[in-house]
């Protein structure tokens, strides 16, 4: 038996023990939650009974207090007209007032005890609710862990067991980075660098024109030179924008997207781009803003470069707990069921969405365009 086989068996054994331990913990937490729920139901019944008792005690206490006030008046009357009453009447007035005072004091004490018990039960019930909620959350989380252990880890192991696949993917990432550097180098060389060279040549020409044809013609050349500098500056800004849009830090996601899509439409030779924003235009966490911007940027670039789209629609909806993105184009499309070699753009997008704990779906058929839908929880 090979060492790799032994290692695989050992890993399977460890994974099995992990699953058993986690499953047992899940059962114990579930039992704790159920027992707490049963205790909670019993305390709810007791609390209901105590509230009824408090109502009864308060009602009877109010009656006693009313009778006690009447007895106090009777006692005061007897005391003022002592000679008009017999000894038995005086004694009876004193005893009635005293008995009612004792009973009233007892009811007040009972009411105080019942209220104290009610407050204690309400605190315990709240604590039990917290325990039940935590137990339910833990059971849910452990269920997710069990699902992951039972399926995702095994699938990941099967997908990555071939070291050549992992190596190839790493090489493709490096190639993509180098290709991006080449592209950027070409853009700078063919764009701003050429324009700046022309500016230098034009400045020499202006000096000659000034000497030979006078100031008026030199001013015309200077105006053309300004136009060239403006174009060079615009090209530099476009390249910088593609690398990292500075407006993203200053203005936020939505204004930056509007500006970016408007710029892309200007440079895309007739492709129409539309943008719709739904919901509140609020700032997001920077990691969400740059990630969502890159996802939309990648989707739009794919539609322009690979799909030959003439119309691209981008919709972003921001809710309190979710952001939804839809990018639709009328390009040539592709067979989404077929795995294409070198289609690392969509793979990179999927990985970025996974890092944000979101979901991504791609719908496309040849000749019918492409629809990309992304949802990211905030």
- Looking at the DSSP bridge assignments, the partners of residue 172 are none
pLDDT at site 342: 44
CATH code, 3-159: 1.10.287.950
Indicate the angle between helix axes 344-355 and 286-305, nearest 10 degrees. Answer: 160
pLDDT at site 3: 47
Q: Which of 374, 223, 213, 201 is nearest to 299 (CA)?
A: 374
Global pTM value: 0.43
Exposed/middle/buried for residue 372 (C-beta within 10 Å: 0-12, 13-18, 19+): buried
Q: How far apart are CA 128 and CA 125, in angstroms?
A: 5
> Where do we find the tokens 């690398």?
243
Could you state, in order of their start, the residue ranges of all structural domains in the chain?
A: 3-159, 163-243, 247-378
The 10s digit of each residue's pLDDT in 86-125 is 778 878 888 888 888 888 888 889 888 988 888 888 888 8
Q: How far apart are CA 232 and CA 336, in angstroms?
A: 40
What's the whole-number average pLDDT of the chain?
78
pLDDT at site 375: 93
Q: Strand (E) positions, 211-301?
A: 272-279
pLDDT at site 351: 81
Q: How far apart are CA 75 and CA 97, in angstroms?
A: 7
pLDDT at site 178: 65
Residues, the chain: 378
pLDDT at site 43: 85
Per-residue pLDDT of the chain (378 residues), as tens digits, is: 444 444 556 766 776 777 777 777 777 877 887 888 888 888 888 888 988 888 888 888 888 888 888 888 888 887 777 777 777 887 888 888 888 888 888 888 988 898 888 888 888 888 888 888 887 877 777 777 777 666 655 554 555 455 555 566 566 666 666 666 666 666 666 666 677 777 777 777 777 777 778 777 778 777 777 777 777 776 676 666 666 666 677 788 888 888 888 888 887 777 899 999 988 778 888 888 888 888 998 888 888 888 888 899 999 998 888 899 999 999 888 887 665 544 556 777 888 888 888 999 999 888 888 999 999 998
Q: How far apart are CA 60 and CA 268, in angstroms?
A: 86
Exposed/middle/buried for residue 244 (C-beta within 10 Å: 0-12, 13-18, 19+): exposed
In this structure, is the dihedral angle defined by the CA atoms of residues 132, 134, 137 and 143, taken in order, positive or negative? negative
pLDDT at site 62: 86
CATH code, 247-378: 3.30.565.10
pLDDT at site 169: 59
Task: Record the tokens describing residue 248, joined without a space.
Answer: 């993203």
Q: Which of 111, 76, 80, 105 is nearest to 93 (CA)?
A: 76
């Amino acid at each position: 038996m090979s060492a790799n086989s032994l290692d695989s068996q050992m890993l399977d054994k460890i994974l099995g023990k992990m699953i058993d331990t986690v499953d047992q913990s899940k059962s114990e937490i579930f039992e704790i939650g159920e027992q707490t729920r049963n205790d909670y139901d019993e305390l709810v019944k007791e609390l209901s009974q105590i509230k009824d008792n408090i109502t009864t005690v308060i009602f009877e206490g109010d009656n006693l207090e009313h009778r006690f006030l009447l007895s106090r008046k009777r006692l005061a009357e007897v005391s003022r007209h002592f000679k008009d009453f017999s000894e038995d009447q005086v004694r009876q007035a004193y005893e009635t007032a005293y008995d009612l005072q004792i009973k009233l004091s007892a009811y007040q004490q009972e009411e105080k005890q019942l209220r104290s018990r009610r407050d204690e039960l309400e605190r315990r019930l709240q604590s039990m609710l917290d325990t039940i909620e935590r137990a339910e959350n833990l059971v849910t989380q452990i269920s997710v862990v069990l699902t992951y252990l039972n399926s995702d880890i095994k699938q990941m192991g099967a997908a990555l067991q071939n070291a050549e696949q992992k190596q190839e993917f790493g090489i493709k990432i490096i190639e993509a980075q180098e290709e991006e550097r080449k592209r950027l180098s070409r853009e700078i060389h063919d764009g701003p660098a050429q324009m700046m060279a022309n500016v230098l040549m034009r400045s020499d020409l202006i000096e000659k024109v000034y000497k030979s044809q006078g100031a008026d013609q030199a001013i015309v050349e200077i105006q053309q030179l300004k136009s060239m500098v403006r174009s060079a500056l615009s090209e530099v800004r476009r390249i910088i924008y593609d690398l990292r849009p500075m407006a993203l830090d200053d203005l936020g996601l939505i204004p930056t997207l509007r500006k970016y899509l408007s710029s892309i439409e200007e440079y895309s030779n007739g492709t129409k781009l539309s943008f719709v924003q739904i919901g509140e235009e609020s700032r997001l966490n920077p990691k969400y803003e740059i990630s969502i911007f890159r996802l939309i940027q990648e989707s739009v670039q794919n539609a322009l470069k690979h799909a030959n789209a003439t119309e691209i629609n981008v919709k972003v909806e921001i809710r309190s707990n979710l952001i939804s993105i839809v990018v639709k184009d009328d390009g040539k499309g592709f067979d989404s069921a077929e795995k294409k070699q070198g289609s690392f753009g969509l793979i990179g997008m999927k990985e970025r969405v996974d890092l944000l704990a979101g979901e991504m779906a791609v719908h496309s058929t040849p000749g019918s365009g492409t629809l990309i839908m992304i949802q990211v929880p905030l």
